[in-house]
């Protein structure tokens, strides 16, 4: 049976049509009737549909009758495409044997195309290209095919040229999967060895773990062991993934992709990347698993209603279950009370987690401005990793500080080269290389401090290149830097949740912009509110939220009081989304918005 | 229906009546009232066209509504001490209609002999004969919607009259023998400077009216001004000028013999609008006509409760329903009534009295609002002394956020 299984994923730059192709594959293989097809079957979280991106890896099993007359099981494992989620891509790839590379016929290769292909090759996957969106007027499949051969060294002679949207060429893709993706190796006679690539929590079934079976067989009643911690339990149910649903089956054997439940209630037992084996007949050694990823961006997450603190902890624990890259630890803020300092892969990851907390767990949150992890070398020889700016030791105790830097690859058309180089320069970048991919496109390599790109670099990149630039980065290491803590005072009161670390030469500019931004965020009060930025107790910028001049209702028309009441209620309602700092009310979103400073440029 | 609400106390109770006349010549550029433009052609009493038919049908409906609803108030021994005919522009309809309508009210209800009976009129729609008929109908207070005496302002606001029309109308009102006259004025209109507003106020004072309502323009949704504003074409005075105009109005009128008794209302002592005070005092009123609002209060403690009703705002529905179509009916419990008592009562310069509050609600003002009051006194927006809570000048200027704090939940 093993040679009739194909485990594969689709990799692509964002918006090159990955989800649409996945939909078509599911549709064509007929596991679902057309009526059941919702627009994007794989992205079953509301959130993903709205954003049009894929966040959590998921899998679906379909049955395909190939032209050779045989029936194949195609396990499609979905991967996220955004740069923040490289780690998750990596998890999905480990469960696959091959990858379809989707390239947009008019856009060509983009920064994330490269990054994803390299990642797939690292995992020894067979990668075969598919040129998508050939129906667009601007499509130039020949040119893009050349690009793929030149830049990636992949053969494009047999590459299907398709339009996933129009349903053109999908059969070619399916045949290519059967032809190009190698069948899984491994034997069902060997001891059980399965890779956990994801898991979710279900209140009835407990933890549902998603596995790729490398060797052996697992079925109901099998006593399994998690190799990382030795936890053992008996399998209650096994099955595979229909589109958006779990379908139970008798057993999962070598090469299969499916799920296992064992009424595990403790969320901490199952770790993504761990190996599952049979307790009484264990495999010799665990799979390599995933390299631990370290969060790159930290911020404070607080419940708007402090009574919800335990709920927030619960929710974070549940999210962490299938998102090992999320880390958190309790912290307290004078301004915001009890909350958590959370670590994320990037800003999008932060946004996604925040939205999931708010939607799936019905929590109202206040999020503070995100920052990176700084290394503080103290004069007494101690080194601390700083994730919360408020904890910065006194300058007299600091020998020097280091900040993380990334190597960034930016692909841009020559037209916007100047604008993008200027942007990188403004963000303290050092150019490493500049290579022409073709006449009109350039691959720029820069070293940039992470702190300069986490907030709004991607947005700035897009707006300054009118969308004609793509971007990917990876952490390079730490470098010594002159850094300062910038404090914000609102109505003369220091607000710890607004402090952040800034490059020395940028302190004045940042402080000024922060004040300008805060003045726009804070509503008027009955009194003037000074907003100040300070470094080491010295005020370097100041703005004022002017008091209300006049805000009074004219008459009540013919005794229509309801209307007046509604207006006052609206005014009152607005206050609920506020945080009280001293006598000043600050909108909750302000804590995150203040650092998005490139808006006006 | 809701009006059959049983009242536990049977003592004499007073009632205000509001009658809505939704017709006007044309829509002003700032207007979001419930009004139907019917054009400038005089309403013919002889040849009945579409307009005449609609107006006649509407008045018939008003009379029915009065007839139907008054039974309840008669039974409960209510006496009417204020009647207010508002609009729209009530003076666009033939005065004989107003006369018959009031006749109907006097017949249906026990109206006190010294009741305040007001009508809103607009210059450019007034006829001498109408004014005489108003007098005969028992109307004793005329409210003139002049807004400004500056012709540029008037054109810009989309008013149909000029400064000259207004002066002529005012003279006619005096000639007809009216002794209680209000002028409705509007400041902070587009392009207005303090000087221009000052000249309107001086004109107004020179005429020696008994009452002045001075409202600042508010750009409401659905108005022509709102469209202009969205397009960035409305040049309103900047907020410092608007504040200056507002402050000047208060001091200038006070210096000239007027007492400011409510945020936007000024009167020669003794000439305060008794009808408008009902709104701020949580007194009862019955509204009849399209979109009209009513308020009823059952004062029995501890279950004091109020009822706010609004008629439908749809003309066809109103005419078809036998005037029973409500768009809203809301019962207010004690908590809500207390909120309203505060945010309405504090519009008055005298504010509210601790003793009256406690008598009405059976609980002390301090117990309910102590914390808010303390905060506001500290902020300088309210004052609480000798058992009286009232807003300061500053508090009046920022009344919206201040009053919003009296909403509980």
For residues B108-126, average pLDDT: 93
For tokens 């129906």, what's the residue? A135
- The whole-angstrom separation of Cα A95 and Cα A211 is 8
Segments of B200-332 assigned E as strands: 211-216, 259-262, 265-267, 285-288, 293-298, 305-311, 326-332
For residues B195-217, average pLDDT: 94
8 Å CB contact of B278 and A559: yes
Task: Say which of B330, B398, B402 has its CB closest to residue A562.
Answer: B330
Q: Which of B186, B211, B216, B293 to mutate to test the interface with A (most CBs of A within 10 A)?
A: B293
- Contacts A526 to B, Cβ<8 Å: 379, 381, 394, 398, 401-402
- The whole-angstrom separation of Cα A412 and Cα A454 is 20
8 Å CB contact of B295 and A561: yes
* Chain B: residue whose CA lies nearest to A548: B398
8 Å CB contact of A551 and B215: no
Give the 3-state secondary structure of residue A312. Answer: helix
A55 has pLDDT over 50: no
Q: Which helix (H) or strand (E) holds A125?
A: none
A35 has pLDDT over 50: no
Task: Say which of B278, B285, B398 has its CB closest to residue A548.
Answer: B398
**pLDDT in the model for residue A38:** 52
- The whole-angstrom separation of Cα B29 and Cα B122 is 15
A74 has pLDDT over 80: yes
- The whole-angstrom separation of Cα B17 and Cα B23 is 19
- The whole-angstrom separation of Cα A325 and Cα A291 is 11
Task: Say which of A526, A549, A553 has its CB closest to residue B240.
Answer: A549
Task: Say which of A549, A561, A571 has its CB closest to residue B400.
Answer: A571
- The whole-angstrom separation of Cα A434 and Cα B50 is 79
- The whole-angstrom separation of Cα A84 and Cα A95 is 20
**pLDDT in the model for residue A292:** 64
Q: How many CB atoms lie within 10 A of CB A483?
A: 24
- A526 near B CB under 8 A: yes
A598 has pLDDT over 60: no
- Contacts B264 to A, Cβ<8 Å: 554-555
Contact in structure between A387 and A343 (CB atoms under 8 Å): yes
8 Å CB contact of B216 and A550: yes
Give the 3-state secondary structure of residue B117. Answer: strand
B335-409: same fold as B13-277? no
Tell me the average pLDDT of chain B: 90
A112 has pLDDT over 90: no
A64 has pLDDT over 70: yes
8 Å CB contact of A526 and B398: yes
What does the block give as tokens for A382? 């101690």
pLDDT tens per residue across span B173-182: 999 999 999 9
What does the block give as tokens for A99? 């990858």
Tell me the average pLDDT of chain A: 84
**pLDDT in the model for residue A399:** 93
pLDDT bracket for residue A512 (50, 70, 90): very high
DSSP-assigned letter for residue A371 = B
- Contacts A549 to B, Cβ<8 Å: 239-240, 242-243, 397
- Contacts A527 to B, Cβ<8 Å: 379
**Residue A44 or B390, more confident:** B390
pLDDT tens per residue across span A303-313: 988 889 999 99
Query: Please, what CATH class does the domain formed by B13-277 belong to?
Result: alpha beta
pLDDT bracket for residue B204 (50, 70, 90): very high
Separation in Å, CA A490 to CA A146, A327, A371, A520, A581: 58, 30, 21, 13, 8
pTM confidence score? 0.66
pLDDT tens per residue across span B319-342: 888 667 777 788 999 999 999 999
What does the block give as tokens for A493? 């009161």
Percentage of chain A beyond pLDDT 90 is: 34
- A566 near B CB under 8 A: no
Range of A393-402, B203-212, B226-235 with top mean pLDDT: B203-212
Contact in structure between A150 and A143 (CB atoms under 8 Å): no
Separation in Å, CA B84 to CA A301, A315, B70, B321: 57, 59, 16, 24
A468 has pLDDT over 80: no
B221-252 burial code (b ≥16 CB/10 A, e <16): eebbbbebeeeeebebbeeebbbbbbeebbeb
- The whole-angstrom separation of Cα A14 and Cα A470 is 9
B3 has pLDDT over 70: no
8 Å CB contact of B343 and A567: no
pLDDT bracket for residue B266 (50, 70, 90): very high
**pLDDT in the model for residue A70:** 85
User: Which of A171-180, A377-386, B8-17 comes out lowest in average pLDDT?
Assistant: B8-17
What phi and psi, each to the nearest 5 degrees, are found at residue A119? Answer: -60, -45
What does the block give as tokens for A122? 């690292």
What does the block give as tokens for B186? 């509007």
Q: Could you tell me the strand order of the sheet in which A98-104 lies?
A: A59-65, A71-77, A5-12, A98-104, A126-132
Burial of A422 (C-beta count, 10 Å sphere; 0-12/13-18/19+): exposed
Q: For the domain bounded by B335-409, which CATH number is listed?
A: 1.10.10
What does the block give as tokens for A364? 């109202």
* Annotated domain spans of chain B: 13-277, 335-409
- Contacts B404 to A, Cβ<8 Å: 568-569, 571-572, 575
- Chain A nearest C-alpha distance from B404 (Å): 5
What's the first-to-final CA gap in chain A, in angstroms?
Answer: 59
- The whole-angstrom separation of Cα A316 and Cα A299 is 14
Q: For chain B, how big is the Rg over CA atoms in Å?
A: 22
- Contacts B20 to A, Cβ<8 Å: 558
**Residue A44 or B118, more confident:** B118
pLDDT tens per residue across span A166-181: 989 999 999 999 999 9
Task: Say which of B243, B308, B340 has its CB closest to residue A550.
Answer: B243
User: Which of A27-41, A381-395, A508-522, B303-317 comes out lowest in average pLDDT?
Assistant: A27-41
8 Å CB contact of B310 and A551: no
pLDDT bracket for residue A510 (50, 70, 90): confident
Contact in structure between A211 and A222 (CB atoms under 8 Å): no
């Amino acid at each position: 049976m093993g040679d009739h299984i194909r485990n594969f994923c689709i990799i692509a730059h964002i918006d090159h049509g990955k989800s649409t192709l996945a939909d078509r594959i599911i549709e064509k293989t007929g596991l679902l009737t057309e009526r059941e097809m919702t627009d994007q079957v794989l992205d079953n979280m509301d959130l993903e549909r709205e954003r049009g991106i894929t966040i959590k890896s998921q899998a679906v099993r379909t049955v395909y009758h190939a032209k050779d007359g045989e029936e194949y099981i195609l396990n499609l494992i979905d991967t996220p495409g955004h740069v923040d989620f490289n780690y998750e891509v990596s998890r999905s790839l480990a469960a696959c044997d091959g990858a379809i590379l989707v390239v947009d016929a008019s856009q060509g290769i983009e920064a994330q195309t490269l990054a994803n292909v390299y990642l797939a090759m690292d995992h020894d996957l067979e990668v075969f290209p598919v040129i998508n969106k050939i129906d667009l007027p601007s499509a130039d499949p020949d040119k893009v095919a050349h690009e793929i051969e030149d830049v990636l060294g992949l053969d494009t002679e047999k590459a299907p040229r398709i339009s996933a949207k129009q349903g053109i060429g999908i059969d070619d893709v399916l045949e290519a999967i059967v032809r190009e993706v190698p069948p899984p190796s491994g034997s069902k006679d060997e001891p059980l060895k399965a890779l956990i690539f994801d898991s979710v929590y279900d209140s009835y079934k407990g933890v549902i773990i998603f596995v790729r079976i490398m060797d052996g067989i697992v079925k109901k009643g099998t006593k399994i062991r998690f190799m990382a911690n030795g936890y053992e339990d008996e399998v209650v149910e096994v099955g595979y993934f229909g589109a958006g649903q779990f379908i139970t089956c008798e057993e999962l054997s070598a090469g299969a992709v499916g799920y296992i439940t064992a009424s595990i209630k403790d969320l901490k037992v199952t770790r993504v990347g761990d190996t599952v084996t049979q307790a009484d007949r264990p495999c010799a050694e665990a799979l390599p698993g995933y390299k631990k990823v370290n969060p790159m961006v930290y911020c404070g997450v607080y419940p708007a209603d402090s009574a919800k603190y335990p709920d927030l902890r619960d929710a974070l624990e549940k999210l962490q279950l299938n998102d090992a890259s999320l880390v958190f630890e309790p912290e307290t803020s004078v301004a915001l009370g009890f909350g958590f300092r959370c670590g994320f892969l990037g800003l999008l990851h932060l946004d996604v987690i925040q939205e999931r907390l708010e939607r799936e767990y019905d929590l109202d949150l206040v999020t503070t401005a995100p920052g990176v992890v700084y290394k503080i070398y103290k004069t007494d020889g101690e080194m601390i990793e700083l994730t919360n700016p408020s904890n910065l030791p006194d300058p007299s105790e600091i020998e020097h500080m280091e900040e993380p830097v990334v190597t960034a690859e930016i692909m841009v058309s020559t037209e916007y080269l100047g604008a993008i180089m200027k942007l990188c320069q403004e963000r303290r970048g050092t150019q490493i290389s500049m290579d022409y991919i073709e006449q009109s496109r350039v691959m720029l390599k820069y070293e940039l401090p992470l702190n300069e790109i986490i907030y709004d670099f991607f947005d700035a990149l897009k707006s300054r290149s009118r969308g004609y630039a793509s971007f990917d980065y990876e952490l390079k290491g730490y470098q010594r830097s002159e850094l300062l803590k910038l404090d914000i005072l609102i109505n003369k009161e220091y607000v710890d949740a607004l402090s952040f670390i800034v490059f020395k030469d940028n302190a004045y500019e940042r402080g000024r912009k922060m004040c300008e931004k805060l003045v726009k965020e804070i509503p008027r009060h009955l009194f003037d509110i000074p907003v100040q930025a300070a470094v080491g107790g010295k005020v370097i910028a100041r703005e004022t939220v002017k008091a209300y001049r006049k805000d009074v209702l004219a008459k009540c028309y013919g005794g229509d009081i309801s209307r007046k009441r509604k207006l006052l209620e609206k005014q009152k309602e607005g206050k609920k989304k506020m945080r009280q700092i001293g006598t000043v009310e600050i909108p909750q979103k302000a804590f995150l918005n203040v650092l998005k400073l490139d808006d006006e440029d | 229906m809701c009006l059959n609400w049983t009242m536990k106390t049977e003592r004499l109770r007073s009632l205000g009546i509001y009658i809505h006349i939704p017709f006007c010549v044309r829509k002003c550029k700032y207007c979001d009232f419930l009004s139907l433009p019917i054009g400038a052609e005089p309403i013919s009493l002889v040849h009945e066209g579409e307009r005449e038919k609609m107006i006649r049908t509407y008045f018939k409906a008003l009379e029915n509504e009065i007839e139907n609803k008054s039974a309840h108030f008669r039974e409960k021994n209510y006496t009417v001490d204020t009647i207010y005919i508002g609009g729209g522009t009530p003076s666009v309809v033939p005065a004989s209609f107003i006369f018959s309508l009031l006749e109907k009210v006097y017949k249906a209800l026990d109206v006190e002999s010294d009741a305040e009976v007001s009508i809103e009129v607009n210059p450019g729609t007034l006829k001498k004969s109408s004014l005489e008929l108003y007098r005969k109908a028992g109307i004793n207070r005329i409210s003139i919607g002049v807004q400004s005496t500056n012709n540029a302002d008037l054109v810009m606001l989309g008013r149909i009259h000029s400064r000259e029309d207004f002066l002529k109308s005012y003279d006619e009102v005096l000639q007809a023998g009216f002794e209680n006259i209000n002028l409705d004025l509007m400041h902070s209109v587009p392009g207005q400077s303090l000087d221009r507003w000052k000249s309107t106020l001086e004109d107004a004072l020179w005429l020696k009216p008994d009452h002045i309502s001075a409202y600042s323009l508010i750009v409401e949704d659905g108005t022509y001004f709102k469209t202009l504003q969205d397009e960035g074409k409305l040049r309103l005075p900047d907020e410092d000028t608007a504040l200056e105009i507002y402050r000047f109005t208060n001091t200038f009128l006070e210096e000239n013999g007027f007492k400011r008794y409510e945020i936007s209302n000024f009167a020669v002592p003794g000439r305060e609008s008794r009808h408008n005070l009902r709104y701020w005092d949580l007194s009862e009123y019955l509204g009849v006509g399209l979109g009209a609002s009513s308020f009823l209060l059952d004062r029995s403690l501890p279950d004091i409760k109020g009822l706010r009703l609004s008629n439908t705002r749809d003309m066809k529905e109103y005419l078809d329903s036998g005037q029973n179509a409500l768009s809203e009916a809301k019962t207010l419990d004690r908590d809500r009534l207390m909120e309203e008592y505060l945010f309405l009562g504090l519009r008055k310069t005298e504010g509210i009295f601790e003793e009256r509050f406690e008598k009405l609600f059976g609980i002390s003002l301090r117990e309910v609002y102590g914390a808010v009051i303390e905060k506001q006194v500290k902020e300088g927006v309210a004052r609480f002394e000798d058992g009286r809570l009232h807003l300061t000048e500053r508090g009046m200027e920022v009344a919206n956020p201040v009053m919003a704090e009296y909403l509980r939940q």
